[in-house]
């Protein structure tokens, strides 16, 4: 068996990416959310916008021409708004059910974080389904709070708002202030 290759996503990968997201998210969500909610949410969660998917910020992991995982980030929020400078959103991270628990998700996350840092991202945000919170925590994300993620007017998903600082962080007060000093 050959080694895992991480490469950019190309338009020819669209169907394989959608299939992978559907299988991975379905497998992971079924233990956390009621089945009717999973069935309603999957079509909405597994259709990444082509403008994001092919914009150079998504990568996939493959081995022997089989897509094993995908990860992507964007400086456009899931609600369609531009992020402030230095901030971005984790948009998708998924590993095929057969490859879960083998370190592939961590490998994809490390690659994604490196890409984002090189692009000047200092804070990576994530609207994370409840089932993925342990993985995101294990890869350095902090939970900021619980949210309801409205996927459509009829489908809402309990989720967590998360954030991970990456790269060097600015020093907020580089010079110590003496007690009684006038600012």
Residues 131, 33: Cα–Cα separation, whole Å: 8
Residue labelled with tokens 């095929």: 96
Q: How much is the mean pLDDT over the chain?
A: 90
* pLDDT tens profile 143-179: 999 999 999 999 999 999 999 999 765 555 555 555 5
* pLDDT tens profile 65-91: 899 999 999 998 888 899 999 999 999
Domain count for the chain? 1
Q: Would you tell me how many other CB atoms lie within 10 Å of the CB of residue 157?
A: 21
The secondary structure element, H or E, covering residue 27 is helix 14-29
- Within a domain: 25: yes
Which pLDDT score, from 0 to 100, does residue 65 have? 87
- Within a domain: 183: no
- Within a domain: 129: no
Which pLDDT score, from 0 to 100, does residue 181 have? 47
Tell whether the model's pLDDT for residue 9 goes beyond 80: yes
- Within a domain: 180: no
More confident residue, 56 or 34: 34
CB under 8 Å to 74, separation ≥6 — which residues?
Answer: 52, 55, 57, 83, 88, 89, 91
- Within a domain: 68: yes
- Within a domain: 70: yes
Residue 42 lies in domain:
5-124
Residues 124, 73: Cα–Cα separation, whole Å: 8
Averaged pLDDT, 29-54: 90
Tell whether the model's pLDDT for residue 51 goes beyond 90: no
- Within a domain: 137: no
Residues 125, 83: Cα–Cα separation, whole Å: 10
Quick check: 107 and 152 in contact, CB under 8 A? no
Averaged pLDDT, 105-130: 96
Residues 111, 134: Cα–Cα separation, whole Å: 19
Averaged pLDDT, 50-74: 91
Residues 59, 44: Cα–Cα separation, whole Å: 20
């Amino acid at each position: 068996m050959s080694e895992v290759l991480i490469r950019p996503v190309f338009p020819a990968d669209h169907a394989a990416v959608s299939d992978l997201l559907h299988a991975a998210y379905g497998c992971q969500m079924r233990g956390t959310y009621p089945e009717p909610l999973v069935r309603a949410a999957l079509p909405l969660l597994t259709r990444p916008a082509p403008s994001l998917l092919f914009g150079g910020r998504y990568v996939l992991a493959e081995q022997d021409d089989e897509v094993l995982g995908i990860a992507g980030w964007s400086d456009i929020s899931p609600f369609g708004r531009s992020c402030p400078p230095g901030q971005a959103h984790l948009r998708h991270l998924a590993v095929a059910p057969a490859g879960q628990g083998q370190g592939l998700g961590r490998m994809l996350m490390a690659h994604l974080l490196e890409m984002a840092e090189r692009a000047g991202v200092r804070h990576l945000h994530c609207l994370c389904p409840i089932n993925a919170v342990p993985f995101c925590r294990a890869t350095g994300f902090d939970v900021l709070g619980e949210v309801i993620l409205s996927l459509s007017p009829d489908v809402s998903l309990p989720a967590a708002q998360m954030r991970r600082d990456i790269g060097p962080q600015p020093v907020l007060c580089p010079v110590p202030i003496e007690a009684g000093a006038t600012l």
